[in-house]
Structure 1
Amino acid sequence: MASALLPGKPTPLGAKWDGTGVNFAIYSEYATAVELCLFDESGAEAEKYRLEERTAFVWHGYLPGIQPGRRYGYRVYGPWEPEKGLRFNPAKLLVDPYAQAICDKVDWQQSIFPYRFGGEDADLQKDDGDSAPGAPKSVVVNPYFDWDQDRPLRTPLVDSIIYETHVRGFSIANPEIPEALRGTYAAIASPASIRHFKRLGITAVELMPVHQYIQDSHLVEKGLSNYWGYNTLGYFAPEGRYCSSGDGGHQVSEFKAMVKTLHREGIEVILDVVYNHTAEGNHLGPMLSFKGIDNLTYYRTLPDNPRYYMDYTGTGNSLNVRHPQVLKLIMDSLRYWVLEMHVDGFRFDLAATLARELHDVDRLSGFFDIIHQDPTLADVKLIAEPWDVGEGGYQVGNFPILWAEWNGKYRDTVRRYWKGDDGQLSDLGYRLTGSSDLYQHDGRRPYASINFVTAHDGFTLRDLVSYDNKHNEANGEDNQDGTNDNYSWNMGAEGPTDNSDILHARERQIRNFLATLLLSQGVPMISGGDEMGRTQNGNNNAYSQDNETSWYDWTRTDEKEALIDFTAELIRLRRDHPNLRRRKFFQDRGIHNVEGSDIAWYSTSGKELGADAWNAGWMRSVGMMLNGKTLNICDDQGNPVADNSFLLLLNAHYEPVDFHLPSAPGGGAWVVTLNTDHIDTPFKSGPTRKKLRLEGRSLMLLCEHEAQKAAAL
């Protein structure tokens, strides 16, 4: 052992470079010894240091002279008693849980597994093979970066338009981006990407996982890959494969530069984070980090048999969020990405898992308590995917205040409605108006509802209206993977049969979904690529398809340009009219006094909808009036704000209907603003008569104008 190691400090955890050296600190409650290993540029293990200092279960030491870019890892000593949940094996090199950069791929050889293969109880037999040659390494990083005047944008959630996308898939095939940058953080911040984001008018990109993750062995064996990245190895390290300069530590500065550029253009960055499980899998999985550092601390094990793991995610393990150190890990990670990386919010994958104190999902769990008390997170966006795969895991509407949620009920209802299913009208009313049935009872606002029709998981919007069944054959699982999507649109006997009519119907249905999404109260989330008709050829579970199946096709066509323009105009319409993105739920005051009502509902006769009509299973056509005179908000100077009133007409029946128009609340005239049946000119304005023909499966938006202005159109 060399003698240069100094005692160092127990905080902060991780490897912190101060300009002259590095302080190393790692938590392990049950370890008997910890060894720091340094690697040279060739990947050979060059130096070892025993961390003799231990403070409150943190092993620490300081090494002068160490520079950014140095690779390191740990070997942790302790009992090998898997039946008790203790799996220490110093032959296995371990990634620092607090590493801010990670390099090298996993080599799926037996050496990275802590046990010997073969036999029913294989995981009980310790393997002494050195894993370092095939294991990822932690990297010391330079924390200094010139942020200049960068500040949090703090775009109000109510004003947000979220664009979910994948760092690599978004740009890898874009010919307008230099080839060396495609598929990277730098590409997201490139002029071509910025032009697209600005053309659309989105306010935030929600990036699918960028925490360092690994490739699953079963996918590698099939020649596939974990494209989505929900297989986290390091919660502080940006994925090195998305860096144009490689994974030697530059991924940190390139990520920061991306955020800085997007902020300069008024675009926030939201991260899809996976704190519910890690890449180490179940008791038969590899030993890469947490499992060998402190298995019982970091993972939920079965109370009566800690050899095995609790699994609420379907991936083999669940993080033990009941333990203070795991809560600290999550909070330190969140704070790091906010304070050091300047991100603006988080979408928590399978967030119900994080709320499980014992077994049941608990709204008052320690995870929520500690987040709500943290001032760093007070102004960032917190979005839950409010379910997991465990019993009682579907928790849409049940997350606490300060949280927004992916509203799965919105997705399901809107799909069923436009498919033409019976009995959707009552539920549709809630979804169009911000889902007050889910979020009003605890004082939350409409913007607690993150509305979406499609997301990365499932059909793209183009495929949703084109396929009746999934086509996941390329995943190598005999098309058995992925959910059976019951909401895909089958035209069947009631739909068009001529090819040109079918194509028109599909284009109209795409526009129906986009218009419904962007005209609903709540926060719209667009699945990236839907605005240009992206297809996965019917694959609704493309997690393993790092190829043209998932990549965005940037080939210019008139159809794509028209759809992009359509989406952008919808976003502009929403942005320009606060009546379309209200901060409070509708009060529905005085249903028979339209001028004083926030909202009114109409049948095709032009009469207000009666109570019985809401539950009429056959009814598929409805009008929704939004009164622009009742916003009850003020501008920055305290002056009351008014807006145009709107009448939204929806017809999910396959046949056209005649809609008799009600009087406009301000005494003006209704003017057609949008008609999804007009594929070429959907936003062509024009005056209306007392009765309109609403084509089958189409949508119209009418705006109230003063009578004389309307007549001039």
Structure 2
Amino acid sequence: MRTNFEAYFDDFDCINVFMSKNFYNGNSSIFHLKDTHDRIIPLTIRYRSELYNGYVHYDLSLNASSIQMGEEYTIYDEHCRTAIVKYGHIVKTVKFNDTYTYRGKDLGLHYTPTCSTFKLWSPTAYSILLFLNHDGNEEVYSMKRNAKGLYEVSVHKNCLSDPYYFLVRVNGSWRKIVDPYTSFSGPNSKYSVVMDMSLLDLPEKVKMPPLHNNCDAIVYEASIRDMTSMPDIGVSYPKKFQGFTQENETTKEKCTGFSYLRSLGITHVQLMPVFDFGSVDEVYPNIFYNWGYDPVQFRCLEGSYDINPIDATSRVKAFAQLVANCHKAGIRVNLDLVFNHVYDKETFSLENLVPNYYFLMNREGAFSNGSFCGNDYDSQAPMAREYLVETCRRIVEWFDVDGFRFDLMGILDINVMNEIASVCKKIKPDFMIYGEGWNMPSFVSEDLRATQKNQHKMPHIGHFSDSFRNVVRGSDGQLTQKGFSSGDTSMIYSMMDRMSASGNTYDSPEKVINYVECHDNHTLWDKNQICCSDENKEIRKKRQVLATAMVLLSQGVPFIHSGQEFCRTKQGLGNSYNRSDNYNKIDYDRRNLFQDVVNQTKTLIQIRKDHPCFRLSTVEKTRENTRFQTIEDDVLIYECNDKEDSCISFFNPTGKTYHYVVSDDVQILFDNGNDNKNVTREITIAPYAVVVGEYQ
């Protein structure tokens, strides 16, 4: 209800009309339709109601067989006022899905040297035009409508590298869009480019040793931009795909960029969004900063991360090389996918092809906003679901990535997540899939949301454990609230469940992503500066190690945010998504100042990799092979074993020293209190210390 006279096809036999009372008091005793061939279609008023907001609502019926999807209809009232009838909730009906769902796998562009064929799915479109720039001349082609709302046109010439876009007439207006099915884009999503992936000289895929289960992973979250944005670190292409894996004598000497990443010993790097987002100018990328959680094109890589955003193939080749370089270094690559919403629904290509279809909308025309971004993607609509699944398949097959992390996964439904897992694991059996399983207030029914609550319905999908985070570090919402690692020993019994992979919540440790810090919210160091403000820096460094040790030694899948290992600060900012490089860069000077924390983190990473007892992969194993005790309800004692491998760990968040005697010799693997012999039975746990020992 934004104009004086609006009308919507909300079903095949139903039109809803809204008339402002400013004109004729909103009254009309008759209505009829006229199509573009001047054919008159009578309408019947089923009921009329006055709304609270100054509008009158009419529910009109018509013979369902009298309308043709894609035709442009004008509605007339008794005063000869007119409006275009827009396709509304009709695209959400069972009949629409049964009639128009297209099962073909050929949407988008198919290129050969003699012919390029373009196909779009748009049952609601009245007309679609292809604009192709060939040899410097713009050529216009009218696309033919076929069954199922498929539009198609073939251009019989060699169009390789030609820019193109479409004009779509739908709901009475022309809308310019890029090709939603392609992976080749011009800068800032202004046009698509004719290209065939098979023509690109992509690097050979590097075979990785199998990952036996997700608990063998150690995931490190990083940003393409942040890792190399600090000046003078030896990287020729800072903030770019090309610079992310660049190594030379300087990066090795200074241990910066990829040289630093390799030194940590992590198994997976999780890259923050690398697909096209709308908040950074790709031609002038240094004007704005953004993490990239505002997608524009799901299948096109982000141009601001490439040294040549004008060349649509450059970013594709550069990213493929990045993945290959990571694999050569023994590091797998997980990608952060943002499928729950888009940057701007009104300009999103799929929305302009079939308005309302790809987004959650109720019968009244209100849009779901569980993402708090103004729109929620509708993963249950058949073509919308197929689009996500096919996008994931392409990414895995083309770029050989090893896992996906889904942003606000709870907006999506369990069926699409299970289908994505099935498709990806068929390509790579050890493929990882996990995400934010928060229960967001969307229009998806709670039993279908891909949330932690429904984890048992998604056998191969992991979830970030916010309960682990909150128990270890304290509430994100209340910065003064402490967790166990920051001194709240009342959390000690909750820690036992969290360290044993939250067996009362999850049906597999492989589904539990344990973390205390990620790109969102305050860094652990910044939080502890507030909740432990009465403590000096040396104590807070020990608390940093204590929390990180709990992540790395707990059952489940450990997740570390880049810089966590050197007490990363964002100068007190809790949300730096659009702040400058100054706040977000990986600061290697700070890393040098906290090298002792880095070294201890590396040791803990190696301990996890060396000892399978920290990587139990079933709930049965965690229940049988993990044991907990306390010392005076202050120090947590954690024992775990896997066959012959048996370890004992102590976590002391207090300022006191404690002693503990074990029955067998223990070789000390880690002790940042430096109070124990190499092999001992009498263990000293210094204040704020972590001690890890292996039974002999």
Equivalence for 1:239: 302
Q: What is the deviation of 1:139?
A: 2.3
Q: Counterparts of 1:224 and 1:543 in 2: how far apart (Å)? A: 14
Q: State the 1:53 CA deviation.
A: 4.4
Letter in 1 for 2:350: F
- Aligned length in residues: 562
Change (3 A) 1:450 1:439: same
- Compared CA separation, residues 397 and 291, structure 1 to 2 (3 A): closer
Question: Which one of 371, 377, 382 corresponds to residue 433 of structure 2?
Answer: 382
Q: Bigger shift: 669-678 or 30-39?
A: 669-678
Cα distance in structure 1, aligned partners of 2:429 and 2:591: 44
Aligned residue number for residue 368 of structure 2: 310
The one-character-per-residue Cα deviations of 1:117-165 (angstroms, maximum 9, x if unpaired) are xxxxxxxxxxxxxxxxxx7222233413343353465423221111111
The 3-state SS of whatever aligns with 2:454 is coil
Q: Secondary structure at the match of 1:661?
A: strand
Counterpart-to-counterpart distance in 1, 2:594 and 2:231: 14
For residues 36-58 of structure 1, give each alpha carbon's deviation from its aligned partner in whole angstroms, at most 9, with x where no partner exists: 1124798xx81211111424222
Tell me the secondary structure at the aligned position of residue 656 of structure 1.
Answer: coil
The corresponding residue for 1:37 is: 131
1:194-228 CA deviation, whole Å, 9 max, x = no partner?
322221111111111111010289xxxxx984611
Distance 2:588 2:129 in 1: 50
Match for residue 639 of structure 1? none
**C-alpha displacement of 1:587:** 5.1
**Counterpart selection for 1:672 from 661, 668, 681:** 668
Deviates more, 1:166-175 or 1:510-519: 166-175
CA deviation digits over 1:340-364, x for unaligned, max 9?
Answer: 1211111111111101xxxxxxx4x
Distance 1:551 1:382 in 2: 27
Q: Report 1 or 2 for greater relative contact order, CA contacts < 8 Å, sequence distance ≥ 6.
A: 1
The alpha-carbon distance between structure 1 residues 103 and 152, as it changes in their structure 2 partners (threshold 3 A), is farther
**Residue in structure 1 matched with residue 690 of structure 2 by the alignment:** 699
Moved more, 315-324 or 136-145: 136-145
| 1:381 Cα offset (Å) | 1.2
The one-letter code of the counterpart of 1:623 is I
Query: What is the deviation of 1:626?
Result: 2.0
**Corresponding position of 1:294:** 354
Alignment of 1:255 onto 2:319: yes
Q: Which has the higher strand share?
A: 2
Change (3 A) 1:555 1:68: farther
AA partner of residue 432 (structure 2) = K
Q: Which residue of 1 aligns with 2:116?
A: 22
1:102 partnered with 2:185: yes
SS in structure 2 at match of 1:233: coil
Counterpart residue number, 1:139:
193
SS of equivalent to 1:178: coil
Matches within 5 A, 1:378-457: 379-390=430-441, 395-396=451-452, 398-399=454-455, 400-415=458-473, 416-421=483-488, 423-440=490-507, 444=508, 446-457=509-520
AA aligned to 1:234 is Q
TM-score computed with the length of structure 2 as normaliser? 0.75
Distance of aligned partners of 1:421 and 1:397 in 2 relative to their CA distance in 1, 3 Å threshold? farther
Q: Which residue of the partner structure matches residue 589 of structure 2?
A: 555
Instruction: Provide the C-alpha distance between the structure 1 equivalents of 2:179 and 2:433, rounded to a whole number of angstroms.
Output: 26
Change (3 A) 1:311 1:178: same
Q: Residue type matched to 1:672 in 2?
A: I
Q: Output the amino acid matched with 1:143.
A: M
Q: For the Cα contact (< 8 Å) 2:342–2:348, is it kept in 1? A: no
**Alignment partner, residue 106 of structure 2:** 12
Return closer, same or farther for 1:161/1:685 CA change in 2, 3 Å cut-off.
farther
State the one-letter code of the partner of 2:354: D
1:146/1:369 CA distance change after superposition, 3 Å: closer
Shift of 1:296: 2.2
Report the TM-score, using the length of structure 1 for normalisation. Answer: 0.73
The match for 2:528 is 465
**1:174 Cα deviation (Å)?**
5.3
C-alpha offsets along residues 308-335 of structure 1, whole Å, 9 cap, x if unaligned?
A: 4211100001112121110111011000
Distance 2:604 2:488 in 1: 26
Q: Which residue of 1 aligns with 2:85?
A: none
Shift of 1:369: 4.9
Alignment partners' CA distance in 2, 1:599 and 1:178? 45
Q: Aligned partners of 1:260 and 1:691: how far apart in 2? A: 45
Contact persistence 2:289–2:581 (CA under 8 A): no
Q: Which residue of 2 aligns with 1:658?
A: 658
Superposition CA RMSD, Å: 2.8
Looking at structure 1, the residues matched to 672 and 330 of structure 2 have their Cα atoms a distance apart, in angstroms, of 30
8 Å CA contact retained: 1:224, 1:545:
no
Q: Among residues 242, 264, 289, which one is paired with 1:200 in the alignment? A: 264
Query: What is the CA–CA distance in structure 1 between the aligned matches of 2:691 and 2:217, rounded to whole Å?
Result: 24
Structure 1 residues 269 and 41, CA gap change in structure 2 (3 angstroms): farther
Counterpart of 1:160 in structure 2 is 217
Per-residue CA deviation, residues 610-651 of structure 1 (Å, 9 max, x unaligned), is: xxxxxxxxx332211223xxx25xxxxxxxxx22x2211122
When residues 377 and 233 of structure 1 are mapped into structure 2, their CA distance, relative to the original with a 3 A threshold, is farther
What is the one-letter code of the residue matched to 1:62?
S
Partner of 2:636: 622
Identity percentage of aligned residues:
22
Map 1:219-368 onto structure 2 (within 5 A).
225=288, 227-249=290-312, 250-281=314-345, 286-304=346-364, 306=365, 308-355=366-413, 363=414, 365=415, 367-368=417-418
The answer to whether 1:93 aligns with 2:176 is yes
What amino acid does structure 1 have at the position aligned with 2:153? G
- Paired residue type of 1:515: A
Corresponding position of 1:130? none
Task: Decide which of 240, 257, 271 is 1:184's aligned counterpart.
Answer: 240
Shift of 1:601: 2.5
Write the distance in 2 (CA, Å) between the matches of 1:184 and 1:414: 35
Give me the whole-angstrom Cα distance separating, in 1, the residues matched to 2:555 and 2:340: 30
Distance in 2, matches of 1:173 and 1:150, equals: 30
Provide, for residues 517-544 of structure 1, a one-character-per-residue CA deviation record: whole Å limited to 9, x for no partner. 1111111111012223321101110011
Alignment CA distance shift 1:417-1:315 (3 Å)? same
Verify the 8 A CA contact 1:532 1:563 in the aligned structure 2. Answer: yes
Pair 1:64–1:163, CA change in 2 (3 A): farther
The change in CA–CA distance for 1:146 and 1:225 in structure 2 (over 3 A counts) is closer
- In structure 2, C-alpha distance between the alignment counterparts of 1:30 and 1:12, rounded to whole Å: 19
Shift in CA distance, 368/447, structure 1 to aligned 2, threshold 3 Å: closer
1:437-489 CA-to-partner distances (Å, cap 9, x unmatched) read: 1223xxx3x121111110000122322322x2xxxxxxxxxxxxxxxxxxxx3
What secondary structure, in the 3-state scheme, does the structure 2 residue paired with 1:24 have? Answer: strand
1:51 equivalent in structure 2: 143
Q: Which AA in structure 1 matches 2:410?
A: A
Question: How far apart in 1 are the matches of 2:104 and 2:693?
Answer: 64
1:537-552 maps to which residues of 2 (within 5 A)? 537-552=571-586
Structure 2 SS opposite 1:418 = coil
Structure 1 residue matching 2:180: 3-state secondary structure: coil
Summarize the Cα distance change of 1:153–1:102 in structure 2 as closer, same or farther, 3 Å threshold.
farther
> Which has the higher Rg, Structure 1 or Structure 2?
2
